[in-house]
Amino acid sequence: MINFILSDADSTQNLGLKLGELLPAGSVILLTGELGAGKTTFVQGLGLGLGIKDAIVSPTFTLVSEYLEGRLPLYHLDLYRLETTEVNQLYLESYWEGIDVPLGITAIEWAQRLPDKPHQYIDIHLSYLPEKGRQATLKLVGNLLINLELLL
Ligand SMILES: Nc1ncnc2c1ncn2[C@@H]1O[C@H](COP(=O)(O)OP(=O)(O)OP(=O)(O)O)[C@@H](O)[C@H]1O
Ligand SMILES: [Mg+2]
């Protein structure tokens, strides 16, 4: 587990950017944190790190956005408007298993609504700091070989 103090939105983006540069195909990032905690901001940085030039906006209504122009495809999901039972029927595993789509990076906002989690994933929880800024807590779940020191 590793904690990051993110004093402004750029710092949140930067954390995403570094991960976007180094993560391998098939990586899943599960994002949690209350409204406005910075989940989309993080994914915007992730897109920059992958070399995606398209603007990344929150797929709150579309559920998923696919960006195919970067080093790897980015699948950006937002489960905010869904119930866990609905999420179950969507077969979202196809994104991180690369079934029917090229294997890429999957980033999921409101991931607590995901009933069946992947075997391995990066858990990122964003929370508000009392004065200003945010804190990110990053955990590697499963058998992931990522050198977290590269993020410091
Ligand atoms: N570390 C930070 N410090 C201060 N402001 C930040 C930080 N990170 C992001 N923000 C700002 O917080 C606001 C909300 O960010 P964002 O939309 O990324 O949150 P979110 O978690 O995706 O929200 P939602 O729950 O609605 O999806 C934006 O104005 C963003 O610039
Ligand atoms: Mg968002």
Look at residue 49 and tell me if it is in a domain: yes
Start-to-end CA span in the chain (Å):
13
Decide if 148 is inside a domain. Answer: no
pLDDT at 71: 97
In sequence order, what are the beta bridge partners of 33?
A: none
Report the domain count for the chain: 1
Query: What's the mean pLDDT when you consider all of the chain?
Result: 95
Residue of 10, 29, 41 to test ligand 1 pocket, by largest number of atoms within 8 Å of CB: 41
**What pLDDT, on the 0 to 100 scale, is given for residue 37?**
98
Decide if 94 is inside a domain.
Answer: yes
pLDDT recorded at residue 118: 96
The CATH number given to whatever domain includes residue 135 is: 3.40.50.300
Give the ligand at the shortest distance from the Cα of 112. 1
**pLDDT tens profile 125-151:** 999 999 889 999 999 999 898 888 889
Contact status, residue 49 vs residue 79, Cβ threshold 8 Å: no
Give just the sign of the alpha carbon dihedral 91, 82, 62, 139. negative
User: Of 40, 79, 80, which is best to mutate to test ligand 1, by the most ligand atoms within 8 angstroms of its C-beta?
Assistant: 40
Q: Which residues of the chain have pLDDT under 50?
A: none
In a domain, 82, yes or no: yes
Give the pLDDT confidence score for residue 112 in this predicted structure: 95
Residue 147 lies in a domain: no
**Enclosing domain of residue 72:** 2-142
Q: Quick one: what percent of the chain has pLDDT higher than 90?
A: 83
Q: Has residue 149 been placed in a domain?
A: no
> Is the beta carbon of 33 within 6 A of some atom in ligand 1?
yes
Q: Does residue 151 form part of some domain?
A: no
Tokens encoding 122: 């990066």
Residue 150 lies in a domain: no
- The strand order across the sheet containing 2-6 reads 2-6, 134-141, 121-128, 28-32, 105-109, 74-78, 64-67
